[in-house]
Amino acid sequence: MTDAVVVIYSGGMDSFTLLHRARARGLRVHALSFNYGQRHVRELDVARSVCADLGIPHKVIDIRAMSEVMSGSALTSDEDIPEGHYEEENMKATVVPNRNMILLSLATGYAVTVDAGAVWYGAHGGDHAIYPDCRPEFVEKMDAVCRVANYEPVGIEAPFMHMSKGDILAEGVKLGLDYANTWTCYNGREKACGLCGSCVERLEAFAENDIPDPLAYETGR
């Protein structure tokens, strides 16, 4: 069995922790990031920097040409980013149509290319309320499909599926990770906004673990 894994690495704190979990388990990591036209594209700069420092093979795939079939999200348009918690109805505006099915399909092809036995991505319990493609049933079915889609079976795994963001942060703290090397905010400005769903959940995770967030926020948090 291959000891290689493709980690879908956005540059956010969940995938940052996932990347290091794979390394801590002795797996050969191939990091894969996507530019799908997200307004918080600065997360990709963070991802590049981290992978360069760690010496991890890293590819950034530009799929902005697919924007016409992945439109309608506040993350990829001029629409205002909604504020509040992920469980609120207005956060549905941040759903990018079919994003994870597309990204996982591309990552599976890459896994076959680099002889990796699995693709990991950072879906977690806090995503379930608003993102259909982060729920257990989606992962289970994508895993089943990707195991038969090629001559080489590739598993789809979401190791944080039943963890909260606070749990993920706690694991990262145990690994000694520096979360200054992440970008979470849906707004791609100089500082994190502190108000979008992604920022709110991140700040809750740090508060839950009783540690300060190293990022600078527009709200002064």
Domain of 97, CATH number, reads: 3.40.50.620
Say what the pLDDT of residue 80 is: 52
Provide the percentage of residues in the chain whose pLDDT is more than 70.
81
* Whole-angstrom distance, CA of residue 201 vs CA of residue 84: 9
Q: In this structure, is residue 200 part of a structural domain?
A: yes
Alpha helix positions (H), the chain: 13-24, 42-54, 99-113, 136-146, 165-174, 197-208
Q: In this structure, is residue 192 part of a structural domain?
A: yes
- Per-residue pLDDT, averaged over 36-41, amounts to 72
Q: In this structure, is residue 220 part of a structural domain?
A: no
User: In angstroms, how far is CA 106 from the centroid of its own chain?
Assistant: 15
* Whole-angstrom distance, CA of residue 49 vs CA of residue 74: 26
Give yes or no for a contact between 123 and 84, defined as CB atoms under 8 angstroms apart.
no
Q: In this structure, is residue 90 part of a structural domain?
A: yes
Range in 9-23, 121-135, 189-203 the model is least confident about: 121-135
Q: In this structure, is residue 13 part of a structural domain?
A: yes
Q: In this structure, is residue 221 part of a structural domain?
A: no
Q: In this structure, is residue 147 part of a structural domain?
A: yes
Alpha-carbon distance values, 27 to 40, 47, 169, 176, 186 (Å)? 29, 19, 21, 18, 30
Q: What is the tally of structural domains in the chain?
A: 1
Q: In this structure, is residue 202 part of a structural domain?
A: yes
Range of the domain at 179: 4-208
* Whole-angstrom distance, CA of residue 220 vs CA of residue 218: 5
Alpha-carbon distance values, 199 to 82, 165, 205, 217, 221 (Å)? 11, 11, 10, 9, 11
Lookup result for tokens 């990991």: 120
Mean per-residue pLDDT over the chain, rounded? 86
Q: What is the pLDDT of residues 63-92, one digit of tens each?
A: 888 766 655 544 444 555 545 554 555 454
Selected residue with higher pLDDT from 126 and 111 = 111
* Whole-angstrom distance, CA of residue 10 vs CA of residue 20: 13
